[in-house]
Structure 1
Amino acid sequence: MEFLIDSVKEIEDLLYVEGACNKGTIKIGDTFQKVYRNILARTPEGNYEVTDIENLRYVNLKIVMIKAYGHAIDELYSGMSGGLFLEGSKDVSISKQDILGG
């Protein structure tokens, strides 16, 4: 599972990230273990593809709530945007354009 971050906030004791699910299905109770950025390269066709990752950091962030389209939901599928409430390690810097990986 992957989640591309658009914004990050702290709300009480939780980390709240908004963005989009890039890969897989994200469910309440799942835990992200990595934060990183993709390195992109232009293909001969003019598209971009991921060639590597950079700035890899290890975290332990458990999903305790998912919000999307004005509602609390149980799962976020690939291509859906939404917000994730996370609990766990806050000692790693997380910012816009980072990717959370499971």
Structure 2
Amino acid sequence: MREDGKIDYVELAGTELAATKRFYGQAFGWRFTDSGPTYAAFDESGLDGGFQADPAKVSAAPLVVADAAASESACAPPSLPPAPGAMRRRRLASAR
């Protein structure tokens, strides 16, 4: 069941799709639904998600999708603190 503010879906790299499905199926009992030759989705495993095997579509990090109420505030990018040392670099640059 989707809940506002909760992680809804996780996509992971699975370059060897058959071996990936075999491992997670044997280790955790996961079941898969293939969506073409390079993608396998899983559900009923505590969290819905999928494995992407297409090298052109695989990201360097997992893709995490969180459910959010449709509002402007939910779609606004997060306000992040400055990177470590960023304020010091700004002060040094302005002093020159």
TM over 0.5: no
Normalised to the residue count of structure 1, the TM-score between the two structures is 0.25
Higher strand proportion: 1
Normalised to the residue count of structure 2, the TM-score between the two structures is 0.26
Which of structures 1 and 2 has the bigger CA Rg?
2
Which has the bigger relative contact order, CA under 8 A and spacing at least 6?
1
Higher helix proportion: 2
